[in-house]
Amino acid sequence: MARTPLMAGNWKMNLDHLEAAHLVQSLAWTLKDQGHDYSAVEVAVIPPFTDIRTVQSLVDADSLPIKYGAQDVSIHDEGAYTGEISTGMLTKLGCTFVIVGHSERRQYHGETNELVGQKAKKVLDAGMTPIMCCGEALEIRKAGTHVQFVLGQIDAMLAGLSAAEVAKSVIAYEPIWAIGTGEVATPQDAQEVCGAIRKRVGELFDASTAQAVRIQYGGSVKSKNVREIMAQPDVDGALVGGASLKADEFAKIVTYQK
Ligand code: 13P
């Protein structure tokens, strides 16, 4: 079965709830104008926690086919964990996706592969889809050990998951040196690692799991470069940062086939 591409906008710490409403509305209108087929390319926005309720209200009120989710989640269900948000709170808000292990969380909050794997499991247990991030820093890329490094992240993140859980998950390969730098990986760079990840999933689980799991590329994706990246056989979508903050630009990324 062919994998449905997923274009997800990771807003990071940008846009308050009023700006969020504006962006989601503009995106929905733009995509409607262009006759976008959401069953051919899935679309998701991943706003800050404080915007999710607003996005939910809009999506519900207008029955928008746009999905949404959160940028992180706690491994705890409830209690004395100041500042954390549980999976239960996110399912109540109708979230479909949760990003886990973004390189910015790893860098600024010390998140390890093991913790990211635990978060992915919590997300799956709650009936949502984790977008599990991996990717190497520039020094590792320069040393030429990036494939080995990313596969190490994959092994550790997937260790506690079943084949069925991995099959419905999303993995996002985001080389750190390409995030927010304007330095996009070449389509061949993206394919090299995304292909290696799929092969590894096949080795860790089985061929049908490898065929089913969606693997995104992220890092300076723009309307100008998305088409070549999406042409790679093992790239099933993009996790877009800066370019997802403008409705027109993100809509162009979503409709890359046109
Ligand atoms: P940019 O698209 O801004 O490079 O960010 C990529 C990213 O980190 C998405 O999660």
pLDDT digits (tens, 9 = 90+) for 205-258: 999 999 999 999 999 999 999 999 999 999 999 999 999 999 999 999 999 988
pLDDT digits (tens, 9 = 90+) for 65-117: 999 999 999 999 999 999 999 999 999 999 999 999 999 999 999 999 999 99
Ligand 1 nearest atom to the CA of residue 179, by list position: 4
pLDDT digits (tens, 9 = 90+) for 8-43: 999 999 999 999 999 999 999 999 999 999 999 999
Strands 6-10, 42-46: parallel, antiparallel or unpaired by DSSP?
parallel
Ligand 1 nearest atom to the CA of residue 180, by list position: 4
* DSSP H or E stretch at residue 22: helix 17-33
Question: What band does 166 get if pLDDT is binned at 50, 70 and 90?
Answer: very high
- Integer Cα distance of 68 and 152 in angstroms: 29
Specify the DSSP class assigned to residue 32: H
Give ligand 1 pocket residues (Cβ under 6 A): 10, 102, 174, 179-180, 218-221, 239-243
- Integer Cα distance of 24 and 28 in angstroms: 6
The predicted model scores a pTM of: 0.98
Question: What band does 183 get if pLDDT is binned at 50, 70 and 90?
Answer: confident
Pocket test for ligand 1, best of 11, 221, 225, 253 (most atoms within 8 A of CB): 221
Instruction: Please say if the pLDDT value at position 1 is more than 80.
Output: no
Instruction: Please say if the pLDDT value at position 180 is more than 90.
Output: no
Residue 230 is predicted with a pLDDT of 97
Pocket test for ligand 1, best of 239, 244, 252 (most atoms within 8 A of CB): 239
Ligand 1 centre and the CA of 244: distance in Å? 9
Enumerate the active-site residues: 102, 174
* DSSP H or E stretch at residue 10: strand 6-10
Q: HSE (CB half, 13 Å, CA atoms) of 59? A: 20
- Integer Cα distance of 81 and 59 in angstroms: 30
Instruction: Output the six-digit token pair for 137.
Output: 């820093």
Phi and psi at residue 130, to the nearest 5°: -80, 140
